[in-house]
Amino acid sequence: MEYYVPLQPPILQKELLDSRYQYREYLPNKFLESYVACYWTVDYDSLEQNKLHRIIPDGCADIIFDLRSSSIYKGAFVVGLMTEFETINLTQKYSFFGIRFYLDTVHHFLRHPVSDFIENHVFLEDVWGREAAFLTEEITSANGISNMIERVELKLMRFLQLSNLKSNYLLQMGLKYIYANKGIISIRSLGEKLSYSERNIRRVFNKELGISPKELSDIIRFQNLLQELYNSNQYSFTNIVIKYGYFDQAHFINNFKRYYGMSPNQVFKKNRFSM
């Protein structure tokens, strides 16, 4: 499986970060790199003013720990696939730790289809039972981020050792082609490569992930586009946009706003998008 690197707004817009508002990402160990895209933290330490935290669809599922929660039960939750951007108005002190999972391997850890968590927050204890409380206590009592990640990775590797869940072949191969083609693939082409009908592919994706293969492909395409735009120079932007199938400026900007909630010029701070 070819993996991609999903991006979130604080990485793209580093000017938003300051001493009170911090977002950081940490890579997993080599054994878990095909399962975990990254670990991440969000910290906001101010009571004087509000801060807008933006989240965009990234084609992943997350387990999130609220490190300031007063309740162990409510201190951890699962978030499934997002299909549109979300903004959170930070009005008090916040501290979150998250595990961002790839879709093709997350079933080893969630024990449920990702579709059970689509556009929804489900408490981890309702998924894992008492194991969730044990891990939440370990994380909240950890001595720094390195120790936190160490404890999480021990737990994840135990899950893998005990997991006997089999992958859905059609879903796994469909995801493989979507990733390999950076989301630039039609459902008809996917059906031809998999030797399955478009109807069967849609049924499996909706059942397992909660969204259609086209919607997921669009999200993966958008994330790959963001990655290339982020790493490009001013003169290659138009070529990159066209490479990802946006031949009309209005179409590109509307699609960008749909997933990001802002225009590309607002994000990249330069007037680069004249096609």
Q: What's the confidence (pLDDT) of residue 239?
A: 87
Q: What's the confidence (pLDDT) of residue 207?
A: 95
At residue 39, φ and ψ (nearest 5 deg) are: -105, 150
Whether the predicted pLDDT of 54 surpasses 60: yes
Write the single-letter amino acid at 55.
Answer: I
Strand 94-102 relative to strand 121-123: parallel, antiparallel, unpaired?
Answer: unpaired
Determine contact, residues 241/225, Cβ cutoff 8 Å. yes
Q: What's the confidence (pLDDT) of residue 126?
A: 94
Q: What's the confidence (pLDDT) of residue 209?
A: 95
Tokens representing residue 140 in the block: 């909240």
Structure confidence by residue, pLDDT tens digits, 122-132 = 999 999 999 99
Cα–Cα dist 185/203, whole Å: 18
Structure confidence by residue, pLDDT tens digits, 140-165 = 999 999 999 999 999 999 999 987 77
Banded model confidence at residue 270, pLDDT cuts 50, 70, 90: low
Structure confidence by residue, pLDDT tens digits, 172-226 = 999 999 999 999 999 999 999 999 999 999 999 999 999 999 999 999 999 999 9
Whether the predicted pLDDT of 88 surpasses 70: yes
Whether the predicted pLDDT of 70 surpasses 90: no
Banded model confidence at residue 64, pLDDT cuts 50, 70, 90: very high
Q: What's the confidence (pLDDT) of residue 215?
A: 96
Whether the predicted pLDDT of 1 surpasses 60: no
DSSP state of 51: E
CATH number of 169-268: 1.10.10.60
Q: What's the confidence (pLDDT) of residue 235?
A: 58
Q: What's the confidence (pLDDT) of residue 274?
A: 53
Whether the predicted pLDDT of 275 surpasses 70: no
Which of the listed ranges 73-77, 117-121, 150-154 does the model predict with the highest average pLDDT?
Answer: 150-154
Q: Pinpoint the alpha helices (H) of 209-261.
A: 213-231, 237-243, 249-260
3-state secondary structure 54-104: EECCCCEEEEEEECCCCCCHHHEEEECCCCCCEEEEECCCEEEEEEEEECC
Indicate the domain borders of the chain: 9-162, 169-268
Mean pLDDT of the chain: 91
Task: Tell me which residue of 57, 176, 185 sits closest to 105, measured CA to CA.
Answer: 176
DSSP state of 30: G
Strand 60-66 relative to strand 51-55: parallel, antiparallel, unpaired?
Answer: unpaired
Determine contact, residues 275/20, Cβ cutoff 8 Å. no
